[in-house]
Structure 1
Amino acid sequence: MSKLNFAAIVVALAFSGAASAQSSDPRGACKADYDKFCAGIAPGGGRVVACLTDKRDQLSATCKAALDNRKKK
C-alpha cells in the first residue's frame, strides 16, 4: 500500500471519532486487514470501512472490535 493511501485512511478514520487506544483504533487495528483485503480500495466516502465490513468474517478479532467500537461512537 502506498504511503499516500495509508495516510488518507488514517485521516479518514481519525475524523470518524474512533477511540485512540490501539485495540479500538481502526487505523492501527485494521492495517494488516486493509493490506490483505482492501489494498486496492481508494479512501474516501466510506469505501475502506465498507470494504472491511464486507470482509468482516475474514478480519482479525482486533479489527472487528475496532470497527464495532467505531459504530458505537
Structure 2
Amino acid sequence: MANIPINENSGAATGGVRDLLRWEGVTLFVGMTLFYWISGASWLHYALVFFLPDLAFLAYHFAPDRVGNCR
C-alpha cells in the first residue's frame, strides 16, 4: 500500500486504528474466499460478485445522463 501523508485534520484513520482497519479488511476477504471455496459454488460467480462495485462504477461513468446533470 502507498504511504500517503495524512494531515491530522483530514479525518482519516491513522496509526494503530489504520492498521486494525486494514487487517480487518484482509480477514474479511480471506474468510469470504474460504467460505466460498468450501461451499463449492462457481468461481465465475465469485468473480462477478467481487467486481460488481467496479462494474457499477463503470456503468455510472459512461452513462449518457449522469446524476449531476439532472435538471
TM-score normalised over the length of structure 1? 0.25
Q: Which has the larger radius of gyration?
A: 2
TM-score normalised over the length of structure 2? 0.26
